Every structure is written in structure tokens, then in C-alpha cells.
Amino acid sequence: MKVNDQELLARIRSPFTKELGFRELIETYQKSVYQVIRRMVLIHEDADDLTQNTFIKAYKALDRFEGNSSLFTWLYRIATNESLTFLEKKKKRYFFSLDDHQEKLESYVDSGATISGDEIQVKLQKSLLKLPDKQRLVFHLKYEEDLSYEEISKITGTTVGALKASYHHAVKKIEQELTQE
């Protein structure tokens, strides 16, 4: 755990500086937490909601945080779980309604609301959406966030071997998609 993390935790755990410390925690990590969630759920309103949930869950569980990992890793673990649970819920909902979340996300990408209307970026987003959610997450954490397998292993609680295999498959699939005309 980093020294800064320890100082931050000490501030949050003290009744006199609790609010100040929590605000500092949010300000330090909000952009990276939001980005990792937004990459998974794409729509800003959903990402906003899940980012807030992530910090609130962290706040409520801070007393149980033992400091075996960094705050970054711990927050990412909560954030990625929140995102995957959200996507899982959306899939389950599809059994009962005509609201196909996958189609909704593809239309969202087409609308250019996520990123610039750059053709290659839209194509990339669409090919990413074809991956299973967890594989897509591994791809984001490794390729976009540039985290090491060891860090991703701590976030996901998955072995480095499984992560490497998952990433390899994701890259192959995306390359195939992107080279297809």
C-alpha cells in the first residue's frame, strides 16, 4: 500500500477528518473509476450511477479494508464488479422485455454519443461489444489502462494464466473484426 493511501485512510478513519478524507479519496480516483466503468457500460448516465455506487460502497466498507492491496486496486475491484453486475442484470431483464441492452449499446455507439464519430473508433467499439463482458474487461484493463497482469489478477481475483489466455482471445477476435471489411 502506498504512503498516500495510508495517510488518506487515516484521515477517513478519524472522526474529525472523515468527510475531508472521503472527499479527497473521490477527487483522487473519480476519473479513473469513472473511465473503467464507462468503458464497460458506455452510457454516461449508467456510468455516473455506478461510479457513485462504487464510492458509496467503498465508504461503507472502509472499516473492513485491511490494506492488503492499494486503494486503487480495491476501488477498481468494486467498480468492475458493479459494472459486470449491472450488465448481468440488463441481460436477465432481456428475458422479460423487448429492451435488448446489447442493441441499445450498439445504437449508442452508432449515434457517436460515446466518442467522436471517427469511423475506426466506432468500429473498435462495436467489435469490443461482441466480446463476452469479462473478456472485454480484461482487454480494457490490459490494453487501454495498461495495467500489469499481476494488478489485473488482484482486481479480478483471477489467475495470471487465465487472464493471459483471455486477453489473447480478445485481441485475436478484435483484430479479426477490424480487418473484416
- Please give the Cα distance from 181 to 162 (Å, whole number): 31
**Touching another protein, residues 59-118 (CB under 8 A):** 59-60, 81, 84-85, 88-89, 92-93, 95-97, 114-116, 118
CA distances from 79 to 19, 27, 53, 55, 171 (A): 21, 16, 8, 9, 23
Tell me how far, at minimum, the Cβ of 86 lies from another protein, in Å.
10
What cell was used for 51?
461510479
Q: Can you tell me the distance from the alpha carbon of 65 to that of 54, in angstroms, rounded to the nearest whole number?
A: 14
Neighbours of 10 (CB within 10 A): 11
Q: How many CB atoms lie within 10 A of CB 154?
A: 19
Interaction between residue 56 and another protein (CB under 8 A): yes
- Choosing from 21, 76, 147, 166, the residue that interacts with another protein (CB under 8 A) is 166
User: Shortest approach of another protein to residue 90 CB, angstroms?
Assistant: 9
Q: How many whole angstroms separate alpha carbon 54 and alpha carbon 68?
A: 19
Interface with another protein: number of residues (CB under 8 A): 58
We find the least distance from the C-beta atom of residue 147 to another protein, in angstroms, to be 14
Q: Which one, 72 or 86, has the nearer CB to another protein?
A: 86
Q: How far is CA 70 from CA 37, 53, 83, in A?
A: 18, 19, 20
Phi, psi of 89 (to 5 degrees): -60, -45
Q: Nearer Cβ to another protein, position 66 or 146?
A: 146
Q: Between residue 136 and residue 165, which ones bind another protein under the rule CB under 8 A? A: 138, 143-144, 156-159, 162-163, 165
The grid coordinates listed for 75 are: 476501488
Residues near another protein, by CB under 8 A: 19, 22-23, 26-27, 30-31, 34-35, 38-39, 44, 47-48, 51-52, 55-56, 59-60, 81, 84-85, 88-89, 92-93, 95-97, 114-116, 118, 120-121, 124-125, 132, 134-135, 138, 143-144, 156-159, 162-163, 165-166, 169, 171, 174-175, 178-179
